Amino acid sequence: MQSLAVLPFTNASDNPQMEYLSDGLTENVLFGLSQLPGIQVVARSTVFRHKGSVEDSLCIGRTLGVNAVVTGRVRQRGATLLISAELIDVESGLQLWGAQYRRATEDLFDIEDDIATEISQKLRLKLSPEKRRVLDRRRTDSPEAYHLYLKGRFYWGKRTAESLYKSIKLFRQAIEADPMYALAYAGLAEGYVPLAYHCHLAPSEAWPKARAASERALEIEPELPEALAVLGSMKAVYDWDMSGAEALLRKAVALDPKYPRARQALAECLMITGRFGNAIGEIKRALDLDPLSLHMNAAVVMNYYFARRQVDAIKHGRQAIELDPSFYPTRFFLALAYQASGQHAEAVAEIQQARALSGGSTLVTGTLAGALAAAGKEAEARALLDELEEVGQSRYVPQIPVAAAHACLRDSDEALSRLERACDERCVWLAYALAGDPRFDGLRNEVRFRSLVQRLAAGVR
């Protein structure tokens, strides 16, 4: 099998606001080539770690272990795009193919197709009619909608609360430009998912909006993996429809076996239904598809934690932090693994760093209260819980970490009351907590706890 890496196209324009254009062009050429049979294309997160690198492209290609690399430059002059691209053999350093394009901005789709097609012809590969339909599903006839979508993806990838809200605004604008653009609806749905998981929005605000957008995307294009993955995730953690969730997620994986997000969501569905071994296998497959993704590596730590494989969680968490020490979700799950293994000083240190990096996330703050309680620092834990009570007057505070903190303080009645409140609010973390969160082990034989498990199993609100 031949292998190649599409290195991030360089934004050669003077305007840094055009970065979305070079990134989007890179992603879409990469996606088009990844649909070809007989070729292995390096994942987006892996190649984008080399964005802005001063390393020679051949050196990067050797580091990635590929046969060839695609490089390119993008410059915009008014309404004109100037794009150059080339395919280089890594071993010999020879140019296998090269082209320059001078087109109007609305011709960006054609340029992406031309690059992918000409490279595939050079490599003597042919796109099947079925895979061609996969590419066609991602199209819009509106250049304006496409550019807005690319900008939305650019800001969505940053994953801060501010950038997520900006991406949602851009996806909505893309939909206004083309109300039949299925991928823009899927992007809008995806925008709400991290807002729900990181607890920037209450479940009752985030998930219905994600549902409406994903269902609209599927009305337009019933076999869009991105929309199926969002809807499947929501059915698991908000609707508590586990069989429906698994069916949608397996369909998404079947439609695009190379889509790591679908496999990650399937792994989490398997995990919260107690199939920990299957979940670990699926999340590892997702990681193989996107090995340097910060979110995917954090998800591996999370799956190990809930599967009670804390040695593996800690080992992988330490390695994953080296990819980006400022990425707080990895530290968040690593802290939980430390706490579960009795390494309380390490747990507190990690979750304190996660809190600082998250900008004071209520999810992380509540988890810090639990870590402090488990470490025997009751006064500090209760002070944080009091702080969250006050914050809760104006912001959403997820009740699962609060319940965990009370469980660590041995306030069983209060912990159960908070779990019941989380159930009423459909907190995204409830299914995970009931499935195997070690912080609640002291409550699992309680009648009220078993009642919550039954409610979730029955999908009862």
Q: Structural domain boundaries of the chain?
A: 2-136, 139-253
Of 433, 444, 397, the closest CA to residue 305 belongs to 433
Q: By three-state DSSP, how is residue 4 classified?
A: strand
Predicted TM-score (pTM) of the model is: 0.88
| Protein fold of 139-253 | 1.25.40
| Residue carrying the six token digits 């209760």 | 382
Q: Cα–Cα distance between 235 and 229 in angstroms, integer?
A: 10
**pLDDT tens-digit series, residues 45-81:** 889 888 888 788 999 999 999 999 999 999 988 878 8
Mean pLDDT computed over 238-257: 96
Contacts 24+ apart (CB under 8 A), 30-34: 30/6, 31/135, 31/138, 32/112, 32/113, 32/115, 32/116, 32/135, 33/4, 33/6, 33/70, 33/116, 33/119, 33/120, 34/258
DSSP state of 290: S
Pairwise pLDDT comparison (22 vs 342), residue with the higher score: 342
Of 131, 148, 159, the closest CA to residue 185 belongs to 148
Q: Cα–Cα distance between 39 and 37 in angstroms, integer?
A: 6
**pLDDT tens-digit series, residues 301-328:** 999 999 999 999 999 999 999 999 999 9
| Protein fold of 2-136 | Rossmann fold (3.40.50)
Q: Which two tokens stand for residue 17?
A: 């606001």
Identity of residue 266? L
Of 110-119, 127-136, 423-432, which gets the smallest average pLDDT? 127-136
- Do 225 and 190 form a contact (C-beta atoms < 8 A)? no
C-alpha 33: how far from chain center: 22
Binned at pLDDT 50, 70 and 90, residue 22 comes out as: confident
pLDDT value of position 250: 98
Binned at pLDDT 50, 70 and 90, residue 131 comes out as: low
pLDDT value of position 442: 96
Answer positive or negative: Cα dihedral of 208, 225, 18, 77: negative
pLDDT value of position 34: 84
pLDDT value of position 134: 61
C-alpha 448: how far from chain center: 34
